[in-house]
Amino acid sequence: MIEKKAVIFDMDGVIIDSEPIHSRVKMDTFAHFGLPFDEADLVHYMGRTSRVIFEDTLQKHGRTDVTAADMAAYKHDHYLEVLESGEIEPVPGSVEFIQRLHAAGIPLALATSSNVRAMNAVLDNFGIRQYFTSILSGGELPESKPHPAIYLISAQRLGVKPEDCMVVEDTTNGIRAAKAAGMYCVAYRNPNSGEQDLSLADEIVDDFRKINV
């Protein structure tokens, strides 16, 4: 058993099985703005903010009539519509795991690349906001995962040293961020998260009941 003083959760692919929805919404956004994009390339951007993929695509096609911020705003609004429609369900076992940790008195934080509105929608729709001492969106920070800032700030908010934190992630970039922060990382293997290199994680699981804290 790995004894840690706090646990920090990623959200997409860990608490909600949202990658298929994210992919659909991003492709809808590209279509809305008339930008060609190969859906197979989405896997390279998993775990990062939408603005990054939009900036890269606009630059590639030399489009200056629209900004990444415009595209991100459209995508976020469209995603929220889907989110609030009830299409997205919790990853099996994730909410129960969060509740078990909370009942054991372990401080919890949420550190997600998703924007604040989407983060809040998930917390409220799943009724799990009260379990987290800290909630932080990558949209509030200048750099996204794999930069470790979001995890270091979360640990600071929890009042726990980075080396005493466990992170639960599902993407290569998220795991890199956790390890760069000096934290123990459990990789949840989500079949909908695409081809992710989980090798840097300290352990890999496919069921939340297999995680011991």
Tens-place pLDDT, residues 149-162: 999 999 999 999 99
Which parts of 85-129 fold into alpha helices (H)?
A: 94-103, 116-125
Q: What pLDDT sits at residue 47?
A: 65
Instruction: Look at residue 1 and tell me whether its pLDDT is greater than 50.
Output: no
Q: How many other C-beta atoms are found inside a 10 Å radius of the C-beta of residue 64? A: 8
Tell me the pTM: 0.81
Instruction: Look at residue 111 and tell me whether its pLDDT is greater than 90.
Output: yes
Q: What pLDDT sits at residue 45?
A: 84
Give the residue-averaged pLDDT of 18-35: 91
Tens-place pLDDT, residues 179-194: 999 999 999 999 988 7
Q: What pLDDT sits at residue 197?
A: 94
Query: How far is residue 24's CA from residue 40's CA, in Å, rounded to a whole number?
Result: 12
* 55 vs 48, more confident: 55
Q: At what angle do helices 116-125 and 68-84 cross, to 10 degrees?
A: 10
Give the Cα-Cα-Cα angle 125, 128, 134 (nearest 5 degrees): 120
Domain ranges of the chain: 6-17+89-210, 19-85
CATH fold of the domain at 6-17+89-210: Rossmann fold (3.40.50)
Tens-place pLDDT, residues 59-104: 999 999 999 999 999 998 998 888 877 777 899 999 999 999 999 9
Nearest to 25 by CA among 86, 64, 72, 91: 72
* 133 vs 19, more confident: 133
Q: Which of 43-52, 63-72, 137-146 has the highest mean pLDDT?
A: 63-72
Task: Provide, rounded to the nearest whole percent, the portion of the chain with pLDDT above 70.
Answer: 98
User: Which range among 41-50, 171-180, 195-204 shows the weakest confidence by mean pLDDT?
Assistant: 41-50
Beta bridge partners, 22, equal none
Instruction: Look at residue 144 and tell me whether its pLDDT is greater than 60.
Output: yes
Nearest to 167 by CA among 159, 176, 194: 176
Residue with tokens 């989407």: 118
